[in-house]
Each structure stands twice: as structure tokens, then as C-alpha cells.
Amino acid sequence: MKNLTVNTTITFDNLLGAKKRITHHVGGTRSGKTYAILQYLIVKALQEEVNITVVRRTVPSLKRSVIKDFKEIMLDLGIWNSDAYNISDRVYSFPNGALVSFLNTDDAEKLRGVKSDILFIDEASEQHEEAYFQLSIRTSGEIILAYNPTVSPYHFLRNMDEVEIFKTTYKDNPYLPQAMVKEIEGLKKKNPKYYQIYGLGEYTVNEKAVFQNFQIVDDIPIHELVGFGLDFGYSQDPTALVAVHRHHDMLYCRELMYDRGLTTQEIISKLKALNIGKSTEIWADSAEPRLIEEIYRSGFNIKPVRKGPDSIRFGLSVLQNFGICVERKSTHLIDELYGYEYITDKNGHVTDKPQDFNNHLIDALRYLAMSRLSIKQQNRGKYTISFGN
């Protein structure tokens, strides 16, 4: 019999005392929640023959976060065995038969073969609801979700029933170096909203969000219909359609379609059910010419968007020149606008490059903006000259 001492934080205790199957661990930066959850899972694996799945969205994020921390904890405890870790499958085998598997979810097909006794999703706000659903129905025991409080009120994480929610901050991590504490507390003056989110773990506007210029309205007033934007998806990604009305420098947006698994005929049927006029422009992803042609032949005025160099940033810059009002019922669009943020580099600096995740309706909106709302497009067919004195 070998005794091990694990130096834990309050998150470890929260898990030991949890009364619900699903626990949410929400908090600011450096609260130690991910590290403590991995400690808890290692203790479980040492005590029981369990199958544990640890999840992030991409392989790089797995390697630089949970896998790195898992190995560090195991080394500190003196129980790491390189031969027990299958690098290609990313599975660690314990002597008692327990397994810890590290899974990325950006490949939808991988999710269908996963079976777990315990599921841990780190940075759960990165996941699509469908990915979470596929993982959860294949988990027989605990489900542990960790994330920062930057998700919208409409995000599926904030609308789950029968869950236990624990909030932690950097103040709950007694092992945090004083220099790091000083840096976080310095946000009180430098960036109060960052301090609210990453210091105090409170829900507020995401300072990294691409769209700071939107508001939620109960109804869309009757204004000029600019047109529709359409982004195609199928299995993991939805087909997304948005309608845009304009009044001066305000855009009024309504989500009309957000469905996975649609065939071309089903998309056409939905467009017909919406009574979209045959002359009304629908701007769609040019990467799907066959779909566009089939929808065009069915009688709709659908056009492929022209994507030039740096078209993503260009489209977003066009949208940022307007105020955006979103109908309250357009919950997926609201969720995307809340969570769509600029990428942070390895040094923690916010870049000017937006993430390519949970942006299907935003892409549809961007297609329309590039095609109908840019200054160049609005002035097409006009030529202005100056002459005389």
C-alpha cells in the first residue's frame, strides 16, 4: 500500500462534495480549477478501474493545457510511467486498468465511439452543443465542465438543468505566485472589465469580443430589407440563414435557419416556407457552387459571395461600421455575437485575428455585408466627377 499526499484547492473539495451528476466550475484566470479537476481525476483513476475522458476542442489546445498539466501532476506525485502513455492515441493506462483518454472534438466522427465513466470538458464554452450532447449520452457517471464566464445568457451552458455550479477565482488558489496575484489585481485599474471576468469570475461583456456594437431588441421594425446571408453546413456545422433590414446606420438582424443535416431539397423547402421573394438577394458561401446552382434553379436569387484577400476581416470591418440590433428570439445569433472573439497569442496578447469557431450566422451576416453594405458595393454603378470652379 502506497500513500500519496495531494496538495489541493477548493475545486477538489467541491468535486468530492458535489451532489449532482453534472458540475460546472466557472471562474477567472489562475483559479487552479483545471489543475484541481485533473488531480481529482487522477485520484479517481488510482482508486477505481474507471474510463475517464478529458476533452478540448483541438489537438494543440489538448497538448498545451490538460495533457501538459496531467503529466506534471503525475510527475509531482512520482507515479508517471512513460510506457503507460500511448502518444498516438493519447491514452494513459493505470496499473489497475483505469484509463484516461484525451480527446479533441473538432472531428465529429470521433465522438460517436466514445464511452466514459467520467467526462471532463475543459474550456467547455469552446464546444458546440451537439458535441456536448454526443459526449454526455455516452457517459455513465460524472460530467465535469470548466469554463470562463464569457458566454452569453443564451449559451447552452447557462441553460442546463440539474447542475451544480461552483465559482472560483485566483483568491482560491493558495499556490499562485505573488507576482501573478499582483498582475491580476493590477487589472482593477488597467482594465476593470477584464478584472470582472478574469479576476472575479463574473459574467460581463467579453472585452475580446469582435462585436461590441450590438444590442438585443424584442421586435424588428419595418425597414428596408437589405437581403439574406446563407452559410452552408451539414453534420457538425449548421446551415445558417439570417435576414438583414437597414435603417440609416442601424442593421436589424433576424435568425431564420440554424439546422444541421439539411439536404439541398430541405434547404429549398425552408426557403420557400419563409416566402422569400424571387428577386430578393441571398448571398451564400462561394465554396459550395453546386448547392448554390441547385437553389438558383429552384427559383431563388442566390449569389456566391466574392472572397478576396483578407475577406474575413474586411467583412467584419463593414459590420463594425453599423449598430447591430438582434431580435431576442434569434438566440443562436446572440450566442455567436457574445462569444465571437479575437485570438489570444501564446503571450496572452489579443491579436486582430478572429477565431474560426461558432460563427455560422456571423459568416452569413458577413457575406451579406461584403456584398451589399460596403462603400464600394453601395457606390457600384455610380461615377462622380468634379469640374468647374
3-state secondary structure of 371: helix
Q: How confident is the model at residue 359 (pLDDT cuts 50, 70, 90)?
A: very high
**114-125 average pLDDT score:** 94
DSSP track, 308-335: -TTHHHHHHHHHTTSEEEEETT-HHHHH
Torsion of CA 282, 284, 288, 292, to 10 degrees: 10
pLDDT at 203 over 70: no
**pLDDT for the residue numbered 21:** 97
**pLDDT for the residue numbered 269:** 95
**pLDDT for the residue numbered 83:** 97
What type of residue is 203?
Y
What type of residue is 347?
N
216 or 227: which leads in pLDDT:
227
Computed over every residue of the chain, the mean pLDDT equals 88
pLDDT at 121 over 60: yes
Q: How far apart are CA 4 and CA 47, in angstroms?
A: 12
pLDDT at 368 over 90: yes
Residue identified by cell 433576424 is 254
Q: How confident is the model at residue 379 (pLDDT cuts 50, 70, 90)?
A: very low
**pLDDT for the residue numbered 204:** 63
pTM of model > 0.85: no
DSSP track, 39-69: HHHHHHHHHS--EEEEEESSHHHHIIIIIHH
**pLDDT for the residue numbered 221:** 84
381 exposure class (CB count in 10 Å sphere: 0-12, 13-18, 19+) = exposed
Q: Of 79-93, 218-232, 333-347, give the lowest mean pLDDT range.
A: 333-347
**313-340 average pLDDT score:** 90
Q: How confident is the model at residue 354 (pLDDT cuts 50, 70, 90)?
A: confident
**pLDDT for the residue numbered 386:** 45
Element (H, E) at 360: helix 360-368
**pLDDT for the residue numbered 48:** 96
For the chain, domains (ranges, CATH) are 10-199 (3.40.50.300), 214-378 (3.30.420.280)
The DSSP call for residue 232 is -
Q: How far apart are CA 65 and CA 3, in angstroms?
A: 27
Q: How confident is the model at residue 173 (pLDDT cuts 50, 70, 90)?
A: confident
Q: How far apart are CA 191 and CA 184, in angstroms?
A: 10
Q: Minimal CA–CA distance to 345: which of 184, 183, 198, 208?
A: 208
**pLDDT for the residue numbered 1:** 59
Residue identified by cell 449559451 is 155
Q: How far apart are CA 176 and CA 36, in angstroms?
A: 13
CA distance to 140, 197, 209, per residue, from 241 (Å): 36, 32, 22
383 or 41: which leads in pLDDT:
41
**pLDDT for the residue numbered 131:** 87
pLDDT at 167 over 70: yes
Question: Angle at which helices 33-47 and 68-77 pack, to 10 degrees?
Answer: 60
Burial pattern 203-239, b for ≥16 Cβ within 10 A else e, equals: eeebbbbbbeebebeeebeeeeebbbbbbbbeebbbb
